[in-house]
Amino acid sequence: MPILLTRIDNRLIHGQVGMTWVMTLQANLVVVVDDNVAEDPLQQTLMSSVLQTSGAGVRFFSVQKMIDVIHKASDRQKIFIVVPNPEVAWKLVEGGVPIEEINIGNMHFSKGKTQLSKKVYVDENDLDYLHKIRDYGVKLYIQDVPGDNKEFIK
């Protein structure tokens, strides 16, 4: 399967994802999976502009569309999936998207969340989904940028 990596980043596509990760992975397609963004042309335009110089294409799919179409992906595609939170990641895993590992890159602080790392804050709901993903056999780790050490979640 041509999925290179799945990343949880509540910012979705931004400079770090659009350049550093895409270039390091040598991805030729970034798929943002978010039900809201899939219906929001303005957000799509803004995120697409970040990828213009990377050479990668971009698609914006709802969770269900991703589940429905991933098995039709060509072997030529080198796919980098970006999701906003652990719940969406779990829905993809549960829906049969062949994800082997998930990079947790950024989850902003908000009330009720505790710090796991410099840029990752979670609440009980997030932890429940992360544990489901881990228990399903998917490797989970925190890594801000490609050169950083991976902090595996056990």
Q: Catalytic residue at 108?
A: no
Long-range contacts of 104-107 (CB under 8 A, 24+ apart): 104/7, 104/8, 104/130, 104/140, 104/141, 104/142, 104/143, 104/153, 105/7, 105/8, 105/9, 105/16, 105/17, 105/142, 105/143, 105/144, 106/8, 106/9, 106/10, 106/11, 106/144, 107/8, 107/9, 107/10
Tokens of 140: 């989970």
Question: Active site residue: 14, 71, 108, 131, which one?
Answer: 14
Q: Which residues pair with 33 in a beta bridge?
A: 61
Q: Which two tokens stand for residue 128?
A: 């429940």
Which residues have a catalytic role annotated?
14
